[in-house]
Chains A and B, each alone.
Chain A
Amino acid sequence: MAGTGSKDLSPQRKRRRRSGWRGLVYIAPAMALVLLFFVMPVIFTGWMSLHNWPLMGGTRWIGFKNYARMFHDARFMSALQFTAYYTVIVTIAIFAVAFPLAIFVEKQRRFVSTYRTIIFLPVVVGLATASLLWVWLANVDSGFIGPALKALGLVNKSPNLLAASDSAFLTVIIMVVWKIAGFTMIILLTGLQAIPAELTEAARIDGAGRWQRFRHLTLPLMRKTIALALIISVTGSILAFDQFYIMTSGGPQNRMISVVYYIFNQSFVSFNLGYGAALSIALLAILVAISIVQLWLLRVGEEQP
């Protein structure tokens, strides 16, 4: 039966099937890497999350107790809350800075490539390095910001920026914007440059003002680019860890513990690898859900009208 079935296939279908196999061979290396470095670790993390898995000593199967525990874990909830708050604030701040910058460097003007380079420079600094740099900048005695404010006569006494939670949060936000905005700017810039000049021209001839052109022409045509920039920014913010660990140690008084920071603490400070794994799986689910919602909101899959 199977033999006759294959004989009945039209040559076209046969060719398609053969090229399908060939395609698979081409992507096999990539698939192998993804399997080895993403899928398998995730499966193993899932397996760990079903155990009481201390850093030392024996492991014990406990089913879904780790997952049940996280719903009553006040510290996890406050970490989620803080991460959400941070993500919203920092994403808005990054876009508020990156969009004008992108528009600024898109136009051909003198020294535009110099501007682009300068704005992009902080991006090539590692996040941990940048955090350390800002720890120094914000240092109350030997740093730059505090002593500079004092030297300018704006304050009587050099403020300890990282000691109070509002100023510490603000410092972290400014650092991240300084570090990331250049990258978002480049992404947005590619979107801006992809808009055909004729369309803008046509709109202008039709009498559309600057704001109208931005609102009804630029924004809709940049939907895919904005979606990409948004997802990168939101994902990065939800996974934030370095800046809080290095700049404030989660302080002042634990007000800045992000979800990843909490997972790290559970795994390597409290030695509950199992619970840490369960939290990681939960975070993965949250990230996937948020990305799907974002893609749906911006309707990236649909064809442009």
Chain B
Amino acid sequence: MIKRLLAATSIATLCLAASASAAEKVEMWVRSGIGEAFKKTVESYNSSHENQVGMTEVPFSELVQKYATAIAGGQAPDALSMDLIYNPAFAAAGQLEDLTDWAKSLPYFNSLSPSHVKLGTYQDRIYGLPLSVETSVFAWNKDLYQKAGLDPEKAPASWDEITANAEKIRALGDDTYGFYFSGGGCGGCMIFTFTPLIWGSGTDILSADSKTATLDTPEMRKAVDIYRNMVKKDLVPAGAASDNGANFLSFTNGKIGQQSLGAFAIGSLVTEHPDIHFGVTLIPGATGGTSSFAGGDNFVITKGTPKIDAVKEFLEYIYSEDGQKIMAKYGSLPTRGDIAGKVLQGLDPRLQVGMQAISVAKTPYTLQFNDLINSANGPWATFTSAAIFGEDVDGAFSNAQTEMQSIIDSGQ
């Protein structure tokens, strides 16, 4: 009898063990261009956990369409690393799993990157949590500063200073330029690097409820003047006027004195271009102050996925100190503010500047980000190109203001 009981229980435990070890495989999509950080985290998770994560990289420009069509066809991945600006639109369309209760139960919920959580929230429910954080910062090339007779360790604190420095660097010669930006209709690049000028000065391109376009402000006029002036003085390479973002990281060629770029770029500059000595600081506002664009990706879960527990386990791993350390090592800033200091210990000190930027950073919240800002033919991209390179600044302002408002109105 006892023997039989033993046999029965041992079979039962065997079954239990078998079912527990039937590890789940989570399918996850990631957009290209966010660097190695996430890939390395997945590798280390897979080697230390029973559940596995399968990662598929999708070109960033096609991710939204692909995900939307995959949802329609029932082939969507369990989870997705989504450019956070698209989070509101997908949440509003009812395609994402509601994470509110679980998220709020996380002990470190309050120290997660606030911009990301805000973008992940739709009608007071949370549909996305921070995965990778990138902020825009101002970088200068120390070698060129030295050659131009400037103090290579002194970060410029205002745009007057930046312009003056740019002139000295331009004076070095033929193909050395003082400043660079992708001005050829790259809405994404310009919202990332150019809006901090006006955010720092306390204004915004959209009203707080995102229902009114507030483009035409004295601060924006000043910001446009700063860029126009540098273009007019030939401090910016001519290619900037038609760069749709392909050459965003021109700074890496070593002939650009100053440029606003992202924290991911700090990672790749450090690892791939060790010969470029550069410093970073916060982007000054047009009329004082500093600001930054908080970008990066949110982690979202497809509505109704059966593997939700496995996905949550993976996300908790990302938020653990180990996970955060791996992410940071490859250029993604920590998403947890409470352990950021510990995570960044021993890493490149310039990443600290990217981290500081989070506290002054903003991200526009709108369901129409693609239409208004990111599209190469949207009003923002057109405005930046027309106002900075065109002849008719007033026309550029009034056209963009009208078109932005009409897009906002038609979406309501």
Contact = CB atoms under 8 A, between A and B. Distances in A.
Interface of A: 54-57, 139-141, 157-160, 162-163, 168, 248-254, 257, 261, 265, 268-271
Contacts of A253: 185, 382, 385-386, 390
Nearest to A161: B242
26 contacts: A54-B93, A55-B69, A56-B68, A56-B89, A57-B94, A140-B237, A140-B239, A141-B237, A158-B238, A160-B241, A160-B242, A162-B242, A163-B242, A163-B389, A168-B242, A249-B185, A250-B185, A250-B377, A251-B244, A251-B376, A253-B385, A254-B382, A265-B375, A269-B377, A270-B371, A271-B370
Contacts of A54: 93
B68 A249 contact: no
Interface in B170-192: 175, 184-185
Contacts of A160: 238-239, 241-242
Contacts of B127: none
B65 to A, nearest CB: 5
Contacts of A251: 184-185, 242, 244, 376, 385
A275 to B, nearest CB: 10
Contacts of B71: 56
Given A160-B241, A249-B185, A251-B385, 20 more contacts: A54-B93, A55-B64, A56-B68, A56-B90, A56-B93, A57-B93, A141-B175, A141-B237, A160-B242, A163-B184, A163-B238, A163-B241, A163-B242, A250-B377, A253-B382, A254-B185, A254-B377, A268-B65, A269-B375, A271-B68
Nearest to B183: A163
Contacts of A257: 377
Contacts of B93: 54, 56-57
Given A139-B239, A160-B242, A249 B184 contact: yes
B377 A252 contact: no
Interface of A, secondary structure class, is: loop
Contacts of B241: 160, 163, 252
Contacts of A269: 370-371, 375, 377-378
Identify the 8 closest CB pairs spanning chains A and B, nearest first: A163-B241, A56-B93, A57-B93, A249-B376, A162-B242, A163-B242, A160-B238, A55-B68
A141 B95 CA distance: 45
Given A54-B93, A57-B94, A252-B184, A270 B370 contact: yes
Contacts of B65: 55, 268
Nearest to B386: A253
A280 to B, nearest CB: 17
Contacts of B370: 269-271
Contacts of A268: 65
Which residue, B72, B241, B378, has most C-beta atoms of chain A within 10 A?
A: B241
B235 to A, nearest CB: 14
Contacts of A140: 237-239, 242
A257 B375 CA distance: 13
Contacts of A56: 68, 71-72, 89-90, 93, 95
A157 B175 CA distance: 12
Contacts of A265: 375, 377
Contacts of A270: 370-371, 375
Given A55-B65, A56-B71, A269-B371, A252 B185 contact: yes
Contacts of A141: 175, 237-239
B371 A252 contact: no
B85 to A, nearest CB: 13
Contacts of B90: 56
A139 B247 CA distance: 12
A254 B95 CA distance: 33
A101 B64 CA distance: 46
A136 B184 CA distance: 15
Interface string B210-246: 0000000000000000000000000001110110100
Contacts of B69: 55
Nearest to A265: B377
Nearest to A164: B241
A261 B239 CA distance: 24
Nearest to A143: B239
A192 to B, nearest CB: 41
Contacts of B89: 56, 271
Nearest to B234: A157
B372 to A, nearest CB: 10
A254 B370 CA distance: 16
A212 B71 CA distance: 66
A59 to B, nearest CB: 11
B214 to A, nearest CB: 21
A265 B175 CA distance: 37
A139 B126 CA distance: 46
Contacts of A157: 238
Nearest to A245: B376
Interface in B61-116: 64-65, 68-69, 71-72, 89-90, 93-95
Interface in B376-412: 376-378, 382, 385-386, 389-390
Contacts of B244: 249, 251
A277 to B, nearest CB: 15
A243 to B, nearest CB: 14
B397 to A, nearest CB: 13
Nearest to B375: A269
A32 B386 CA distance: 50
Nearest to A139: B239
A56 B390 CA distance: 37
Nearest to A268: B65
A261 B377 CA distance: 10
Contacts of B390: 253
Nearest to A247: B242
A275 B184 CA distance: 28
A258 to B, nearest CB: 11
B250 to A, nearest CB: 10
